[in-house]
Structure 1
Amino acid sequence: MKHYLIEYKPFLLFLGKFLISYLILSFIYQSYLTSFDVKNHEVDGFTQVVSNQTEKLLLFFDCDVKTMKHPTEPSIKLNYNQKWIARVIEGCNGLSVLILFISFIIAFSGKINHTLVYILFGIIVIHTLNIARIALLVVLMYHFPDYKEFLHGVLFPLLIYGTVFLLWIIWVNKFSFYAKKSFEK
């Protein structure tokens, strides 16, 4: 048994750091979410920020868009050309994707300053992409309502998770301690 622990030590360290950071960040996020009254349709602050930023992005492109609190559920309605097209719920805000991204970077850590800068860089990229994703989704769902399921369920998750995967690959190959060990061999 000791032989296997030594042999698989890098994997076990990765797995341990990933699970611990993921669980801690998820606990913090869940604690944050419980501070909002879902029964009274209260929307968490970060989802409101994402909705407002999506609205501002569409307004920048001179779109007819308006956000408003949904009257019967904890979400923000997005109206495009005076038509209700989408709702932004807690799952749309991208925080769960950010938690996954950060946990992976911590698990494959590098120098502390490189790790922190890359996490900040990744947060900015993923958040910006998420805002653009929601804005583009609203426009496309307005013009192509028959493709709503494909756009929301396939194309845009592929875009966001594909970007996260690409950021992970760049991190592991360029900045993590693992990259340095592989490079030295």
Structure 2
Amino acid sequence: MLKDFKPTLFILARFILIYLILLAIYQYFLNYYSGTGLDPYSKMITEQVRYIQNYLGYQTQLYNDIKNEQVYFYVRNDYPTRMVEGCNAISVMILFIAFVFAFYKGLKIFTFIIISLILLYILNLLRITGLNIIMTDYKEYGKIAHDFIFPSIIYGGVVILWLIWIKHFVLKDKVSNELKDKI
């Protein structure tokens, strides 16, 4: 009976192992920069969001709150939002990588992951920028935007990329192999 579940258990074990390893590496990274303010990766994102917002006409300055490990966005004489470690989408990217590697399909996985991470990174920059604009011009929609709309954008992007991986790489190879076996 366990033999029937062996492929599923193998995929699940690979997912959990990769997820825990990547999570431990990320936690080590965060611990290394503990007490120095926001980590360098998150700071890089704040700088890029500031650049995008300035380009869009939302003159933005950053206030680095080292003690509380956050960076405030200063837009139009107000602090509409702040950037904390959780806003950098790394945890979502780790989950994405672990899922894709759980269904490992050769070296093409690395190309897919790199392209996907770039897309998720850009999506996250636009997500933070959009949230800042909403919190600056339409504060009454800020809570729903922060709690529902923008998380659904980043998680929706992950789900779409997962579906692409499964449909165009995992299942395509399986169908191709089944056809080869019949020939």
Q: So what's the TM-score if we normalise by structure 1?
A: 0.91
Matched, 1:83 2:103: no
Q: Is the 8 A contact 1:65 1:82 kept in 2?
A: no
**Partner of residue 51 from structure 1, selected from 46, 63, 69:** 46
- List runs of 5+ in structure 1 lacking aligned partners: none
CA RMSD of aligned residues (A): 1.4
Q: Is the 8 A contact 1:78 1:88 kept in 2?
A: yes
Matched, 1:28 2:44: no
Q: Distance in 2 between matches of 1:179 and 1:14?
A: 18
Q: Distance in 1 between matches of 2:34 and 2:167?
A: 43
Tell me the amino acid that sits aligned with residue 91 of structure 1. Answer: G
Q: Is the 8 A contact 2:72 2:79 kept in 1?
A: yes
Map of 1:129 onto structure 2: 123
Tell me the amino acid that sits aligned with residue 58 of structure 1. Answer: Q
Map of 2:151 onto structure 1: 157
Q: Distance in 2 between matches of 1:149 and 1:63?
A: 20
- Residue by residue over 1:1-48, the C-alpha shift from the partner in whole angstroms, topping out at 9 and shown as x without a partner, is xx22x101221111011001000000000000001233xx62111110
Map of 2:104 onto structure 1: 109
- Residue by residue over 1:152-173, the C-alpha shift from the partner in whole angstroms, topping out at 9 and shown as x without a partner, is 0100001110110000000011
Q: Distance in 1 between matches of 2:149 and 2:24?
A: 29
Q: Distance in 2 between matches of 1:111 and 1:70?
A: 44
Return structure 1 stretches of 4+ with deviation > 6 angstroms: none
- Residue by residue over 1:39-79, the C-alpha shift from the partner in whole angstroms, topping out at 9 and shown as x without a partner, is xx621111101101111111222321111202641101011
What is the CA-CA distance between 1:146 and the residue it aligns to? 1.6
**Partner of residue 174 from structure 2, selected from 165, 176, 181:** 181
- List runs of 5+ in structure 2 lacking aligned partners: none
Q: So what's the TM-score if we normalise by structure 2?
A: 0.92
Map of 2:8 onto structure 1: 11
Q: Distance in 2 between matches of 1:169 and 1:182?
A: 16
- Residue by residue over 1:62-97, the C-alpha shift from the partner in whole angstroms, topping out at 9 and shown as x without a partner, is 321111202641101011112101000000011111
Q: Is the 8 A contact 2:70 2:85 kept in 1?
A: yes
Q: Distance in 1 between matches of 2:8 and 2:146?
A: 34
Secondary structure in 1 aligned to 2:32? coil
What is the CA-CA distance between 1:179 and the residue it aligns to? 3.4
What is the aligned-residue identity percentage? 29
Q: Is the 8 A contact 1:69 1:76 kept in 2?
A: yes
Tell me the amino acid that sits aligned with residue 6 of structure 2. Answer: K
Q: Give the count of matched residue pairs.
A: 178
Q: Is the 8 A contact 1:47 1:93 kept in 2?
A: yes
